[in-house]
Structure 1
Amino acid sequence: MMKLNKILSVIAGIVTIGLLSSVFAKIQGALFPASLELFDRMSWSFSDNIQLVLKLICVYSSCILGGMAISFCGGASRQHYIVSGAIMLVVGWLWLNTAHPVWFWALLIAGILPFIMIGNKLP
């Protein structure tokens, strides 16, 4: 039973982060339609950079809630690290497959583990 909780906590963390990131992206796309085309461009204006910062905040929020979901399902620090690694791999793959402002992707990858661990510490 204990192993099942650990496996379920990893699945819950990945699903929570992925689902919430998608929901936040849809909401941002509905409110700011131009944000859906950010990664098709090779140069970005000031307002585009604001949209990228909003995307960072949304993903960081998803990571915090994902960390909370992992803890809620009985995951320990190891499960948080596993989920962080998996999400970093997905983000790295996205980075390789899109036009990219390096600062955005670097901050995104650098923030995943800390924000998931913040979720671990919250009740």
Structure 2
Amino acid sequence: YLEAVRRLKSEGHRFPRTIHMTFVPDEEVGGHKGMELFVKRPEFQALRAGFALDEGLANPTDAFTVFYSERSPWWIRVTSTGKPGHASRFIEDTAAEKLHKVVNSILAFREKERQRLQANPHLKEGAVTSVNLTKL
């Protein structure tokens, strides 16, 4: 947005309302400690905002997809326990074996959604469920 506003200003565009840019934390997880707190403040009310946009989805064209709702992140913590062992033996029922099944299930669902997106030209990013395993 900074670059877009910079270009609009440099090209001499004028708007009927003032453009306010806010940078708040927490938007990926619901904004409860960022935008939600800010909109309750008198400083926000004084802006008399007509509408707000977040970062949206990247698009290689000059089109901008507008969403009327937002997804909710699900943070899942999995604890896997199993039999301990020694490196000289193949121990059955280990924590890693159990965790392997969970990771495979998550990645299988992710792949199914990716294929659904690729198979349907009418679907756009955001129309399917994305799963990103970011920590192990």
Same fold (TM over 0.5): no
Instruction: Name the TM-score, length of structure 1 as normaliser.
Output: 0.32
Instruction: Name the TM-score, length of structure 2 as normaliser.
Output: 0.30
Structure exhibiting the larger radius of gyration computed from Cα positions: 2
